[in-house]
Structure 1
Amino acid sequence: MTSKADLEQWLAECDAELERGHDTGEIWQRRSFCLARLQRYPEAILSFQQALSLDPNNPKVWCNYASTLAATRQLADAVYAYDRALDLAPNYANVWRRRGKVLYHQKEYVRAIESYDHALVLEPTDARVWYGKGLASYQLGQIKQSIEYFKVAIANDPNSPEAYISLAHALIDNNQKSQAFAYLQPWITKGCQDARLLQCYAYLLDQRRDHEEALHYLEEACVLDPRNVDLWFHRGIVLTRLKRLPEAHEAFREVLKCRADRTDGWLALGLVLRHLSEPEAAIAAFDKALALSPSHPLAFFHQASCYAILGRDDWAEEHLRRALSLDAQTYLLKARQDPVLQALETRLLPAAKTG
């Protein structure tokens, strides 16, 4: 792999050649390549444009220009540039693959699959293409097909964890959790340090009620990717199941520091606060959840319980009535099972049923 120092040296050599008046398409191409590899994308784009003005019929330059546009999220322009490359070289497999990836990011999943299919005609064993096709199929809800495509990707490149992670998610969605676990297990045995893989493995352990082991892998994942709020949220859920409520409280606080717009974060925090015997703080957390999702019956239900704990029966009745108006079947049963609301059943539940 070319080092940063080498790229900077080549770039300096290209600039020196241009200063000497050697204004050729080849030099601009090399210069553009160096800038793109150095992730100096705005400069690279301008440089590629100059290269193409001198050599407009070079499909490789169009391909690299398109990839640089894609790196700056100029996706529509990137597709146009890939199309220009294909006009010049219809059998350019790498262009078809990269084009499919950009179309995927545009959520043009059907077109992405069509592009990947062109690539597979030319490169039928390219694991990257099978993986991309699997991702697009998954987004279209074609779960069984995506499973097969991920398996082909793995068969052609068994050393890339991304395909295993995506396969595991697809298998989970297809109610094949044991198979998902089996595909991830060898990576765990090898000591894989991929936060996404560890999170998926922890989810499967959690589903098996092996909460302590799930927490172990979630903590490893949080070290690897400490800013990933989904990891912190999952960690909080597992800590709650283990009844380690103060730690769960801190985990959910960490989530909400980064993403105060997460309804599930406020709901989870409210539940923990309720179990920590802090009903007023729990009510405030549920209010935050309702500000984001005004018709969330779970928030109203637990607010009802918190108000009942505080002896504010009128507010308890009102919030229970709101929960029941949104989902009577679920929350009537929950209310009859809630010790706090059950104690007030003669007053609260008949009123809530008729409200």
Structure 2
Amino acid sequence: MGVLDQADWATFKRAETWKALGIAAVLFGTIAFASLSLFGSLDALFQSDAEPEPVPDVIFQSVNRTGIEDSIANETGWLHLSDLRGDVIILDFMAHDCSNCHKVQAHLEAEMQGWKDLAAANGVGFHIIAYGAWYNEDLAYLNTSGGAYTVPTYPTGIGSPDAAVLPNGTADPVRLFTASGTGSIPVVVIIDESGYIVHRQNTGTPTDGWGGFDAAVEQVIVDGGSTMVDERIAWTEPETSLTAVFVLGALLSILVYFSPCAFPVLPGFISYYLSLGAREDELIAEEKLKSRMPNSAVIGLLAGLGMLTFFLIIGLVAAVMGEAFARSGLIHYIAIAV
């Protein structure tokens, strides 16, 4: 007997079925409107409301090559970003084994001389500086070419989690200046003469072919940062409280049930549950149903455990493979494909 032969087509003749479908449609529309409105409110709630400020001093050790770093580093080879205030700076957050970072480096090196000439013609100080953002790589490794990596031809150094000096202590510059404090690289920022970030690029293969970034560099050199006040980007120290992370995770785990991705399954699920519940005694009497449906608490618990198991497996896979993907650069290409 085939699946179609086993189907109880008489269900469609019952008024309860269509009532259940109507209830599902109303719930679908209500949940869609309410949840989309809620997601819009949350987006405004969680976005940074910090005002743009000049970047803090960032202190890190350079590779101290003659004719490259020694012109801006102190006598021990350490770089202080504050020593360059008044000049235009491109700060490149990179790593030896970050393949996507190599694309950023290639572009910066290709344009570097032209930008230097433009800055000299306009009487503006100009620097490109590479900040080693993977702290498991030491200074010697960063200063050693190998594979697809070559040591940048612009000043380069290795950072640390406390390289940024704030009024209330220290912080990790990678967390301060990357999008949403994720710490994901590559990230390259343009800092104007007053110390404000006026442009940020988060990939080595931007969709506009570096047009927006290059235009921002030329504008800040020729016209000055005062013409880019509206483009200034705020930075802030990210919240790392375990309690805050737990509360946010709990909130998002609830909201996932009301996300647009869940909408298509709700009408069918609710209709099936309500129509089956209305005919439960009849189906048991006809021996089409062996036992009663589990109550709502059991169904909810099983659904929650199923999702927990799925995301736990995904999390374990991500934890094991995350660093390997990041080093290989495959994540970048997967994101482009998606």
Please report the TM-score for the alignment, with normalisation by the length of structure 1: 0.20
Q: Name whichever structure is richer in strand by fraction.
A: 2
Q: Which structure has the higher relative contact order (CA within 8 Å, separation 6+)? A: 2
Q: Name whichever structure is richer in helix by fraction.
A: 1
Please report the TM-score for the alignment, with normalisation by the length of structure 2: 0.21
